[in-house]
């Protein structure tokens, strides 16, 4: 937690907050802070700044807050991700949020196990926890949006073509002949397959609407590793 994210409900006056939850515990246990200390804070979906501790006990933390800066810029990317297995989904949401991704479609594909769609991790509140941790890691405040698309074909045929328009649309595919582009100065739509990759039919569907298959090399990588690698290469 490199930044303490504040909700509007935390404010007890225009510039004063009172925290009693896991953020209080974090300040006590990890920061080991004292009254007078300054902490980095941000308003969820708003600016960032500094808070000075005015009182701190085991029950409550009060701070005087000044929000005077913008969080780091988001990445101009929309992520289209084959639903990973639940354990990996946590890490992928964290990684995406910490790297500045603001829109994620979780889609079905042939190699996604059906049971993954029943995971309690897909509950909005559960995903939000992992996204929030990613923001807290990266000094960011803007919550990414996650949309579930459990049907591949209607999503690719009816919704994706409009998004492709005007974007650089890439699908990560270990067997692709083209290397992943570097330092792209454009809006990017990035599709990433499941373990084992998209099947040929899925790659064909995506290329038919304008996606370019690109590769990071001959090594198949786990999604949680491929994602930071792709984003760092592309932007």
What mask of x and - would describe binding to a second copy in positions 176 to 215, judged by CB under 8 A? ------xx--------------------------------
Q: Which two tokens stand for residue 14?
A: 């225009």
| DSSP H or E segment with residue 162 | helix 160-164
The reply to whether 175 sits near a second copy by the rule CB under 8 A is: no
Binding a second copy (rule: CB under 8 A), the pick from 98, 108, 109, 141 is 98
Long-range contacts of 116-123 (CB under 8 A, 24+ apart): 116/83, 116/84, 116/85, 116/86, 116/89, 117/83, 117/150, 119/86, 119/89, 121/86, 121/89, 121/90, 122/89, 122/148
Task: Tell me how far, at minimum, the Cβ of 224 lies from a second copy, in Å.
Answer: 8
Sign of CA dihedral 200, 170, 235, 127: negative
Q: How far is CA 69 from CA 5, 32, 75, 97, in A?
A: 14, 25, 18, 19
Binding a second copy (rule: CB under 8 A), the pick from 4, 140, 152, 189 is 140
Binding a second copy (rule: CB under 8 A), the pick from 20, 22, 186, 219 is 219
The reply to whether 228 sits near a second copy by the rule CB under 8 A is: yes
Residue 31 · residue 68 · CB < 8 Å: no
Tell me how far apart the alpha carbons of residues 26 and 88 are, in angstroms, rounded to a whole number.
Answer: 25
Adjacent-strand bridge partners of 149: 107
User: Which segment (50-58, 95-103, 120-128, 148-156) binds a second copy by CB under 8 A?
Assistant: 95-103
Nearer to a second copy, 119 or 133 (CB): 133
Total residue length of the chain: 235
Task: Tell me how far, at minimum, the Cβ of 73 lies from a second copy, in Å.
Answer: 8
What mask of x and - would describe binding to a second copy in positions 100 to 119, judged by CB under 8 A? x-------------------
The reply to whether 220 sits near a second copy by the rule CB under 8 A is: yes
The reply to whether 218 sits near a second copy by the rule CB under 8 A is: yes
The interface with a second copy within residues 28-67 (CB under 8 A) comprises: none
Contacts with a second copy, residue ranges (CB under 8 A): 2, 72, 94-95, 98-100, 137-140, 182-183, 216-222, 225-226, 228-233
């Amino acid at each position: 937690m490199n930044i303490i994210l504040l909700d509007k409900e935390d404010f007890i006056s225009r510039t004063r907050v009172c925290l009693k939850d896991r953020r209080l515990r974090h300040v006590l246990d990890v920061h080991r802070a004292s009254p007078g200390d300054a902490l980095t804070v941000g308003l969820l979906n708003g600016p960032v700044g500094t808070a000075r501790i005015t009182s701190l006990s085991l029950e409550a933390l009060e701070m005087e807050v000044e929000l005077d800066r913008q969080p780091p810029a988001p990445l101009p990317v929309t992520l289209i991700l084959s639903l990973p297995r639940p354990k990996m989904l946590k890490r992928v949401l964290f990684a995406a949020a910490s790297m500045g991704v603001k829109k994620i479609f979780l889609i079905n594909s042939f190699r996604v196990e059906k049971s993954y769609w029943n995971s309690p991790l897909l509950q909005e509140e559960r995903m939000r926890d992992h996204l929030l941790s990613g923001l807290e890691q990266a000094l960011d405040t803007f919550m990414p949006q996650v949309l579930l698309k459990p049907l591949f074909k209607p999503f690719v045929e009816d919704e994706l073509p409009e998004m492709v328009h005007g974007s650089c649309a890439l699908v990560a595919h270990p067997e692709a002949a083209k290397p992943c582009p570097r330092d792209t100065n454009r809006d990017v739509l990035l599709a990433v397959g499941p373990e084992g990759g998209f099947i040929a039919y899925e790659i064909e569907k995506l290329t038919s609407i304008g996606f370019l298959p690109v590769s990071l090399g001959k090594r198949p990588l786990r999604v949680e590793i491929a994602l930071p690698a792709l984003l760092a290469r592309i932007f």
